[in-house]
Structure 1
Amino acid sequence: MPLVKIAAAVAVVGAVAVGPAPVMAGKPCTLPYAAGAGAELVRLDALDLRPLGLPTGPVAVVRLASARSGMAANSRVNAAASARYLDAKLLGIPLPAGPLSTSVYQEAPPRNPKPAKAHAPRKDLGLVEAGAGNLIAHARGASCHPRRDDVTSSSTQVAGADILPGPGGTALVRLPASLRGRTSTGLVERDGAVQSTATAAAALADFRLFAGTPTEIAIKVIKPPTLTVSTGGTAATTGVRYASPLLEVSGPGVPPRRIDAPGETVDLVLPRTAGGAEAARADAKARRLPLVAGDPLAETLGALHPERLRGASGGAEAGPLTLPALSGLPNPGELVAGEALPPLGGDASLVRISLGDARTEIADRSVRARVASIRIQVAAGASIADIAIGDLDAGAFAPAPAREPVLPGGGGLPITGRNVGIVAAAGALLLTAGSALIVTARRRHG
């Protein structure tokens, strides 16, 4: 065979060798990486106004602005996110049927380039007056590979809220500015290990206790709470990071005080009735607690009679926001119960503002945590109201790492292996050899 033909044949073989690499169909992730997170901006629990002589209660629970997102990499639905504006379970109060609130939901696959969004109009439930809200849920889709963006995320934003509003523009708790909750889940790589991670946070504005009364208490949120958990399938790669909020409490008769550590409290004594001021003052002095003047409970709660609630809409059940299509997520656990308030005299009531401590459970390959970031409890001989602001939970699971480093299969992406690299290198050498032979042959025939 002439030298030119031999050279051309070698070059053709080289070109075929370095042509498009064979694309192997990406396999779904078979490793059980999972994570979930939830955030509720406000939760009103076990309202019972009968100790104040009002025919209202008990009311089981009202939830405002719930967000949840989660991933389970080896499930058919491997990512989901949801957000809900308002939900309530009202016991003993006749409510008309019908949906209570706006919600959004999104799941993957397929991958969603844009989130689902919804706008919720202002809502007056009688027990809660909430401003307009915005809901976002984004499920991008999970794989076994870490990446920069989150696998899932969700958020809620509410333009202020009054909790237990009263007459004349009063409220037991008023959040006057916009507040926001958010969640996210994903995979990250730390120290060579792939870790499942979940985050829940609440961006809280300053709020007021006994709002609109002469004894209004200001609670300034200097630092909002954030909860993050992660695990790479070993004790060394598992952790819980909770940033407790930093509050400053001040008001008439209440010297400014900052609290920033889980478990810290500020207790306030106040008269249960207008005629009980002297007894309340004596109780506050004996306990060395600040005394709130006036009768703010009567001012803020006096209008909460059952007839106020007849125009409200309530759900049959008010439960945590769930992601029903997603399996394999760690259960966030129960909300940590607040410590019982100490009993006071017959004419005194107690309000406790406290910072929650994260309840955590860590196993070999999983971690979960939950915390009621800020808690406001009111008692007058018996529990009246229990309000959690920034109820956060997060959980994560990861398989035990392989003994030898192995890249997990990845979520539909093209896969190239070591053999393809060897073929490509050989092809490049053949191309070089073929080109050299062609040049030599042309010079000989020139």
Structure 2
Amino acid sequence: MTSARSLAASVAALGFASALTAPMPALAAPAPCERAENYAAQSGAALLRIDELEVRKAAERPVAKPGDQEKDEPADSVFSDIDPTTDNPDDSDSLSEGIGMFGTNLLNLADLSHVTVSELDRGGSGGGAMGVPEAASVSDVGVGESRTAMVATTRINAAGYARIADAKGDLSEPVIQQAPPTHDKATTRNTAAGDVGPLTVGKGTIAAHARWDGAMACGKAAGETSRADTELKKVSLGDLVRVPEKLVSRSTTALERSGGETRTVASSAVTANRIDLAGGAIRVRVLRQPTLVACMSTAGGEISYTPAAIEVSGEGITTKRLSTAGDHADVTLRSLEAAPFPGLDTLRKGAPLPLPIIPGLPKISSPHLESAPAGGEGTRVRISLGEVRQARKGRAIAAKATAIQVAITQGGGSDASSASDRDKKGYGSATTLAMTMGFGLMEAAAVAPAADLEGVSAAGGTAGGLPITGPRLDVLAYAGVGLLAVGAGAVLMTIRRRRSRL
């Protein structure tokens, strides 16, 4: 009897000990995502871009006298309703296709616009002396470009690019940094002052930084993924346009987490203090810096645009402040004829940057490029604040904006030269100029996966995306209960036998 009781006690003790001393399940270290989700963002910023610039030297020909049947021919149109960031058909499903520039392009600095020299105005019959072109034009050339991209589903997940000039030449070489692998520090380069065709740029600094955590691919980690910066001490286009103080462009992409929700964020910003136009006759002071931000999550997205606020002034000019997108100011000046720009006829757009492709971005409507008011001689200037243009498609959103737009036209000759004097000479104006230029070009696009696809973890299970190791809890529980039942049964049988003998 004593041995039976001892056996029962031993079995019961074994059951309790097995349940209490068995190793508990353990959480393994974080594992990479089982499947990358459709998290993506792209942004770009440029300090300035020449949309169109044409300088035309008129052929020496008699001006029609009153009563003559011949009328003055209109100058060739250099202002176009065509978006200079027209999609490149070869960039299917790229951000360039998506937002016109980059995916993009606010800038589409990836599109290959080019310089043209009028074939009708070259040397020869009716042309300039020694074959010098009588007219030269350039379009879609930018300065101070910074661009970033983040795509969870590609081999290169994050990238930053920055360069001084979107034009062929020494100053067009970019700095590039890509991840993975992630980088603790940015790649930075200081640049010397120099010329980009007719543009003169001061000393500058360009930097690019790319970082990536494998858990970002499924939205389980957050942080900035890429950043690009371009800084210039100054930039000028002859005496026509001068930015005499430091200006900076910046673009970033990031993943943010809040309340269990992951969202992609793309942002761009441009900083400048002052712009002088027409030899300093017009001064533009920047009172509020422009910014553009796009964000998207499984719950939806939004665009946030802060337009620039500026003050336009000058000697004899009524000071005017512009603070709302679409506001504009028109100024007419008496001035001498337009000056030529050395290097204009040799300026060429640079090669596109190797941007990652982002599928599924929406297209953005093309802006209307305004010219300065026509009529009369002298210099006519229109300064306006650009409006944001945006579009969305599913869980993708994109936007672009030009903070400040400047349009200038200059007729040959000055108002001091009377019409009667010109009639006596029998010749018309010497040189004309027409230009549209944008300051603070910004673009941003963000993409998130559909709600039913977000956050697929590597291990499955219910441990917050971490794989479970060790024995299963249900098996341990069944084993413990079984051992306890065996022990209890042995005790009951011993008690019954004892009673029966009594």
Q: Same fold (TM over 0.5)?
A: yes
Match of 1:115 among 161, 164, 186: 186
Greater mean alpha carbon deviation, residues 246-255 or residues 72-81: 72-81
Measured against aligned partners, the alpha-carbon deviations of 1:216-244 in whole angstroms (never above 9, x if no partner) come to 2221101010001112245xx22111000
Residue 103 of structure 1 deviates from its aligned partner by 1.1
The answer on 1:322 being equivalent to 2:353 is: yes
Mapped pair 1:394 → 2:454: no
1:356 equivalenced with 2:386 (yes/no): yes
State the match for 1:149 in structure 2.
223
Report the AA paired with residue 254 of structure 2: G
Count the aligned residue pairs. 370
1:172 and 2:202 matched:
no
Q: How far apart are the structure 2 equivalents of 1:207 and 1:410?
A: 53
User: Letter of the aligned partner of 2:322 in structure 1?
Assistant: I
Correspondences of 1:191-340 after superposition (within 5 Å): 192-211=260-279, 216-234=281-299, 237-271=300-334, 295=335, 298=337, 301-305=338-342, 314-315=347-348, 317-318=349-350, 322-328=353-359, 330=361, 333=364, 336-340=367-371
Match of 2:51 in 1: 45
Aligned to 1:30: 36
Q: Retained in 2: the 8 A contact 1:336–1:371?
A: no
CA distance in 1, matches of 2:269, 2:28: 45
Which amino acid in structure 1 is aligned with residue 49 of structure 2? R
> For the residues of structure 2 that align with 1:325 and 1:230, how far apart are their CA atoms?
19
Residue 112 (structure 2) aligns with: none
CA contact (8 A) 2:371 2:407 kept: no
What CA deviation, in whole Å up to 9, does each residue of 1:13-35 have, x standing for no partner? 44x326x5334742254211111
Give the whole-Å Cα distance in 2 for the aligned partners of 1:251 and 1:112: 48
- Counterpart contact for 2:33–2:456, Cα < 8 Å: no
In structure 2, the partner of 1:60 is: 139
> Could you say if the C-alpha distance between residues 365 and 148 of structure 1 is closer, same or farther in structure 2, counting changes exceeding 3 Å?
closer
1:187–1:360 distance in 2 versus 1, CA, 3 Å:
same
Inter-partner Cα distance in structure 1 for 2:27 and 2:297 = 33
Q: Is the 8 A contact 1:335 1:372 kept in 2?
A: no
Note the C-alpha offset of 1:183.
0.6
Equivalent AA in structure 1 for residue 143 of structure 2: L
- Matches of 1:264 and 1:402, distance apart in 2: 44
Aligned partner of residue 257 in structure 1, secondary structure: strand
Classify the secondary structure of the residue corresponding to 1:328: coil
Does residue 409 of the first structure (1) align with residue 440 of the second (2)?
no
Say which SS state the counterpart of residue 451 (structure 2) adopts.
coil
Q: 2:232 aligns with which of 115, 133, 158?
A: 158
Structure 1 residues 331, 111: closer, same or farther in 2, change over 3 A? farther
2:172 corresponds to 1:101 = yes
1:75 counterpart = 2:154: yes
Per-residue CA deviations over 1:19-58 (Å, capped at 9, x if unaligned) read x533474225421111100001011122111167894511
1:294-342: CA deviations, max 9, x gaps?
A: x2x64xx525245xx69x7x55x436x5343444373775763322443
Could you tell me how far apart the structure 2 residues matched to 1:64 and 1:331 are? 26
TM-score, normalization by structure 2 = 0.65
State the Cα RMSD in Å. 3.6
Give the 3 Å change call, closer, same or farther, for CA 119–335 of structure 1 in structure 2. farther
C-alpha deviations, 1:137-181, integer Å up to 9, x for none? 11112433365531111111111111x21xxxxx21211111111
1:349-388 pair list within 5 angstroms: 349-380=379-410, 384-388=434-438
Q: C-alpha distance in 2, partners of 1:204/1:331?
A: 30
Asked if the contact 1:336/1:370 (under 8 Å) is kept, the reply is no
Give the whole-Å Cα distance in 2 for the aligned partners of 1:56 and 1:135.
34
Please state how far the C-alpha of 1:353 moved relative to its aligned partner. 0.6
Change (3 A) 1:420 1:99: farther
Residues 180-195 of structure 1 mapped to structure 2, 5 A cutoff:
180-190=248-258, 192-195=260-263
Task: Give the TM-score of the pair, scaled to structure 1.
Answer: 0.72
* Separation in 2, partners of 1:366, 1:65: 27
